[in-house]
Amino acid sequence: MNTDIQKVKSFIAKYHNQKKALISILQDIQAEFNYLPQEALKFTSDYLSIPLIDIVSVATFYRSFSLKPRGKHLVTVCLGTACHVRGGPKILEEFERHLNVQAGETTKDNQFTLETVACLGCCAIGPVVVIDGNYYAQTTRRKVSLILKDYTKKEKDNEGHKEN
């Protein structure tokens, strides 16, 4: 845990210990740990003398922050109007079935976090699914397992490399 605090300290120092940089600091913490650990938030609160509740308010207000550990891959299914009429909810259902989690949850092996989004702004290629920044256009139920296979396969490959 000690190293974590050191890292958080360095993030805060990067913004010259300014209170107004709270969101940037939280973004850095999120990038480092993949979520916002309670200890990190408590430390930030003490260090910048911002009430903890204010930091938690900010952290829970924005969707990009998460107080729960997230999986290695972030699966985002668009449920905006255009994607909705083109079958977004069905795609989501398929993902839920394959990953065995509900939207907003993380799989038990910490590999995937499934989330929904209101609109990604690329309605022409809907229904859209984004995994780790890669866009999958015109997704169908059939494609879901193929897309997921890519990531589970990569995972296995990586593990194989490590063993070698």
Partner 1 sequence: MINLKINNLDVKAEEGWTILETAKFYGLEIPTLCHNDGLSNYGACRLCLVEIGENENTKLVSSCTYPVEEGLEVHTDTKRVIEARRMMIELMLSIAPNSKVIQDLASKFGVTKVRFKVRNEECILCGLCVRMCKEQMDGKAIGFQNRGFKRKISTPFDIRSEECRLCGACMYICPACQLKCQGPQADTTICNACLTMDPTCLDFYDELQCWMYDAGRCGTCIREKSEKSDSNKQAKNAKY
Is the Cβ of residue 53 or residue 124 nearer to partner 1 in the bound state? Answer: 53
Minimum distance from CB of 114 to partner 1 (Å)?
Answer: 17
Check if the beta carbon of residue 126 is closer than 8 Å to that of residue 119: no
**Sites of contact with partner 1 (CB under 8 A):** 38, 41, 51-57, 60-61, 67
Is the Cβ of residue 36 or residue 91 nearer to partner 1 in the bound state? Answer: 36
d(CA 161, CA 126): 36
Minimum distance from CB of 59 to partner 1 (Å)?
Answer: 9
Is the Cβ of residue 13 or residue 118 nearer to partner 1 in the bound state? Answer: 118
Minimum distance from CB of 110 to partner 1 (Å)?
Answer: 20
Is the Cβ of residue 21 or residue 56 nearer to partner 1 in the bound state? Answer: 56
Q: Is 108 exposed, middle or buried (0-12, 13-18, 19+ CB in 10 A)?
A: exposed
Minimum distance from CB of 51 to partner 1 (Å)?
Answer: 4
Check if the beta carbon of residue 127 is closer than 8 Å to that of residue 92: no
Helix and strand numbers, DSSP H then E, in the chain:
7, 4
Is the Cβ of residue 41 or residue 91 nearer to partner 1 in the bound state? Answer: 41
d(CA 4, CA 162): 25
Indicate the Cα dihedral angle 13, 4, 41, 115, nearest 10°: 110
Minimum distance from CB of 50 to partner 1 (Å)?
Answer: 10
How many Cβ atoms from other residues are within 10 Å of residue 12's Cβ?
21
